[in-house]
Amino acid sequence: MGTLSGSNRKYLRGLANRLKPVVQVGKGGVTEGLIETVSRALTAHELIKVKFVECKDQKRKLTDEIARRTKSEVPGMIGNVAMFYREQPEEEKRRVHLPGAAQ
């Protein structure tokens, strides 16, 4: 999967509106356990939200680190909540179908 286009980012942000954060980043910051949890959630859901309860002043840097380590992309951030997207490699298990993508 390559970089998301602007229209795909907008589409994913719209889908994420109804989602609740599934992972919270606390005072421990980005740990191996947090990365594993985010990765498992991305495998199950493809599009998730992560809430920064602590480390709010470092959220941009931490968001980039989480995305890099989970091989995901960030469609956007709103306040202290970041959205992450990673396409499901198995086509029949995909929940999110990006507009313009080969189906």
Beta pairing partners, 23: 50
- Domain count across the chain: 1
Considering the domain boundaries, does residue 11 fall inside one? no
- Position 1 scores a pLDDT of 45
Sort strands 23-25 and 47-52 into parallel, antiparallel or unpaired: parallel
E strands, the chain, where? 23-25, 47-52, 73-78, 81-85
Q: What is the CATH number of the domain that holds 63?
A: 3.30.110.60
**Higher pLDDT pick, 44 / 90:** 44
Q: Give domain status of residue 7, yes or no.
A: no
pTM to 2 decimal places: 0.90
* CA separation for the pair 55, 34 (Å, rounded): 14
pLDDT (mean) for 24-33: 92
CA distance 29 to 31: 6
Asked whether residue 94 is assigned to any structural domain, the reply reads: no
Average pLDDT, the chain: 91
3-state secondary structure of 26: coil
Of all residues in the chain, the percent with pLDDT exceeding 70 is 95
Residue 95, in any domain of the structure: no
Rounded-to-integer distance, Cα 73 and Cα 48, Å:
11
